[in-house]
A and B are shown apart, each in its own frame.
Chain A
Amino acid sequence: MENEPIAIDKDKCVGCRLCIKSCPFGAITMQGKLAVIDLAKCTLCGACVEVCKFKAIAMRKPAAAAADLSAYRDVWVFAEQKDGHIQSITYELLGEGRKLADQLGMKLCAALLGHRMADQTAELTRRGADRVYLVDAPELAYFQDEPYAAVLIELVRRHKPAIMLCGATTIGRSLVARVAVRVKAGLTADCTGLAIDPETKNLLQTRPAFGGNIMATIITPRHRPQMATVRHKVMKEAGIDVKRQGETIIEKVAAEVLKSRAQRVRFVPETETTANIAEANIIVSGGRGLQAPENFAIVRELAEALGAGVGSSRAAVDAGWIPYSHQVGQTGKTVCPKIYIACGISGQIQHLAGMSSSDIIVAINKDPDAPIFRMATYGLVGDLFKIVPLLTREFKKALKK
């Protein structure tokens, strides 16, 4: 039994079933009068250990590492840029990173990788960075997986940050997984909440799993840096303080570090302006209830009136009514806008997983029992072909004033 990562003590278990209820993975069952853990299903999350009133469940502690964690200092933010422009996710990370750094009594630093961007470090300072590490090279003008990862690995080894935050964007997710592996750091994906444990000073990273049906809080107790990607639009952007002072450190890296085996051979910007729904503050989405591709026009018109992005359910994409880049949900994009308007979307669990953290959800559906209404801040039951054009007209009127 000692080799098992988790086990129930037969002498202590009274068969109270509390652990069965607590298990998010359905891994515990009753066998006779005792609870038994199915290790194949168990993820060692420890939920059962906590609820057991009889201390009957023991989880093996991992072997202690002798790493000196105190050598790691400061909170770092990866400053994502595209085409020489710092992306808004960076300001969200600086806003959150500032709070963490203040609680820990550490500096907030930004790592900016790019080419000819020296004039933009001041913006990072104004948004709260005490120090900006700038790496300037033509190879870093746009994101490339290998040199970006190699440079970041180099910076982590040189400066040993305690925490490193990065946007859970296409770039961020592709980049930091490589970095975390090479520096043996803990990495938590797609966080929606960050806090500091007041006792241990560990970073508490909270993220949704199972399509948002459960939340998990994750720590990296024995490795540094504690790395996390953070979902876009969840954290508040740092405000601008023009008086804020900070330093910029120019980092040189060897030519070897900037090499890339993979090369971009073409870049095509998305032409439809409403396409980048991950950035949109308002999204109007259409689903199967629209009945035909041409009916997406009423969704587009409402989106246009609101300056919103156009989203869709999987059903509408699979029917070929709208390109995949608009799909919201588990197999599409996860979005977190201020306002999400769902037109003719019933609210399958996979769709809800992609938009349930929106601030305000408006649902229009003819079926009063549609699951989307359970999520909705405002639900309109009725014919969307009447309601959506009316919304467009009324919003136009209201916004003109």
Chain B
Amino acid sequence: MVCIKQVPDTADVKIDPKTNTLIREGVVSIVNPFDMYAIEESLRLKEKLGGKVTAITMGPPQAENALREAIAMGVDAGILVSDRAFAGSDTWATSYTLALALKKIGDYGLILCGKQASDGDTAQVGPGIAAHLDLPQITYVRKIEEVSAEYVIGERLLEEGSEAIRAPVPCMLTVVKEINEPRLPSLKGKLAAKKAQITHWKADDLQGEKAGMGLDGSPTKVVKIFTPPARQGGQIFKGEPEEIVPQVVAKLKDAVIAAAS
């Protein structure tokens, strides 16, 4: 199983220097870049071990495109979990809803997610799903060292090093960029993606409490959205390096000493 999200393509996003806001015109939706690594890794696992890869996403109807993209890469099937009732979901409600969908599928071994989405940047949905399903988890995985029907060993990237963790299957893995290089879709894959039947599930298709979904199921509430204050215009030095470098060093010296202490 691989859980993906459709996000605005931030590679396309430019900032309007005058208003300091996002220029949204022409911004296309893409598969969350971190999820591409999860898709690729799931395909590699399938090539090694057999089995089937299903991509699942929760989002508006057009998120179906993200699933077709995954299918073009080689994923076997796509499930779109989409309903007005899910609108306003925070990470609690999102992980609950996805967990319900995974429960409905039932026979999963490994669940892979990107470490976080590039729009919300929370990194909470992967561990959240694991908690709802009471599964072990290995987060920030940069390498799957061993995998079988019984267990998986994943190497996780920590701030101070790395650790290998062995966990029984089923298990949740969230992956980082270092794990692989996602493939491009093949022509055959693209054709398959066009023809593929995407399964649609609505809130009524899931065996769960409506109170845990959407706005009602979300403990957090956004009360304000604003653009961050623009950074103060800096000082630009041009000219001979021999002249400008000592000026900058003089300005920075105290800050460097303070930072070192």
Contacts and interface: CB of A to CB of B under 8 A. Distances in A.
B256 A395 contact: yes
A381 interface: yes
A6 B214 CA distance: 13
Nearest to B261: A281
Interface size class, chain A: 35 or more
Interface stretch (B49-57, B66-74, B83-91, B194-202): B83-91
Interface stretch (B39-47, B102-110, B154-162, B185-193): B154-162
B168 A399 contact: no
A189 B124 contact: yes
Nearest to B99: A181
B222 to A, nearest CB: 4
Contact of A5 (B140, B214, B246): B214
A231 to B, nearest CB: 11
Nearest to B221: A219
A213 interface: yes
Interface in B143-174: 153, 156-168, 171
Interface stretch (A70-78, A128-136, A323-331): A323-331
Nearest to A266: B164
Contact of B222 (A3, A43, A331): A43
Contacts, number: 312
Contacts of A391: 245, 248-249
Q: How large is the interface on B (under 10, 10 to 19, 20 to 34, 35 or more residues)?
A: 35 or more
A37 to B, nearest CB: 11
Contacts of A282: 256, 259-260
Contacts of B235: 377-379
DSSP class of B's interface residues: helix, strand, loop or mixed?
Answer: mixed
Contact of B249 (A186, A189, A327, A398): A398
A39 interface: yes
B252 A362 contact: yes
A1 to B, nearest CB: 12
Interface stretch (A11-19, A105-113, A169-177, A243-251): A169-177
Given A5-B84, A187-B91, A338 B228 contact: no
B124 A184 contact: no
Interface in B11-27: 11, 13-15, 17, 21-22, 24, 27
A188 B220 contact: yes
Given A26-B24, A350-B11, A379 B234 contact: yes
B128 to A, nearest CB: 5
Contact of A145 (B139, B161, B241): B139
B10 A220 contact: no
Interface of A: 3-6, 24, 26, 39-47, 50, 60, 62-63, 82, 145-146, 149, 169-171, 173-175, 177-182, 184-190, 204, 208-223, 260-270, 276, 278-279, 281-282, 306-307, 324-325, 327, 330-332, 337-339, 349-350, 356, 359-362, 368, 373-383, 386-387, 390-391, 394-395, 398-399
Interface of B: 8, 10-11, 13-15, 17, 21-22, 24, 27, 33-34, 59-62, 84, 87-88, 90-92, 95-96, 118-128, 130-132, 136-140, 142, 153, 156-168, 171, 176-178, 211, 214-216, 218-228, 231-232, 234-239, 241-242, 244-246, 248-253, 255-260
10 contacts: A5-B215, A39-B60, A177-B124, A189-B122, A282-B260, A338-B259, A362-B248, A373-B236, A377-B235, A395-B253
